[in-house]
Amino acid sequence: MGLDLASASWRKSTRSGYSGCVEVAFLDHGHIAVRDSKDRQGPVLMFSPVEWRAFIGGVHDGEFDVPSTAQRWAPT
């Protein structure tokens, strides 16, 4: 996905505070770029519209929630 990021308009959540966060840029053709706000010259993750919708759906469904300590160490 060789999309041009030179004119990307990067956005960061107003809830990110000072500890850093990720920035998101919505690009042409629905593609999405994500980067570390503390390393703006570093690597960028690129998502197609389908991949982004799947990721956001997983976030909404709790797929990436960190389990509590008790759940993490419970036998399966």
The pLDDT tens digits for 14-66 are 777 667 788 999 998 899 999 998 888 899 999 999 999 999 999 999 998 88
Q: Would you say residue 6 lies in a domain? A: no
Q: Would you say residue 74 lies in a domain? A: no
Query: Which helix (H) or strand (E) segment is 24 a member of?
Result: strand 22-26
The CA–CA distances, whole Å, from 54 to 4, 6, 9, 60, 68 equal: 23, 26, 23, 10, 24
Question: Domain span at residue 47?
Answer: 21-63
Cβ–Cβ < 8 Å for 11, 24:
yes
Q: pTM of the prediction?
A: 0.73
Q: How many domains does the chain have?
A: 1
Q: Would you say residue 51 lies in a domain? A: yes
Q: How far is it, in rounded angstroms, from Cα 39 to Cα 69?
A: 30
Q: Would you say residue 29 lies in a domain? A: yes
Q: Would you say residue 5 lies in a domain? A: no
Phi, psi of 67 (to 5 degrees): -70, 155
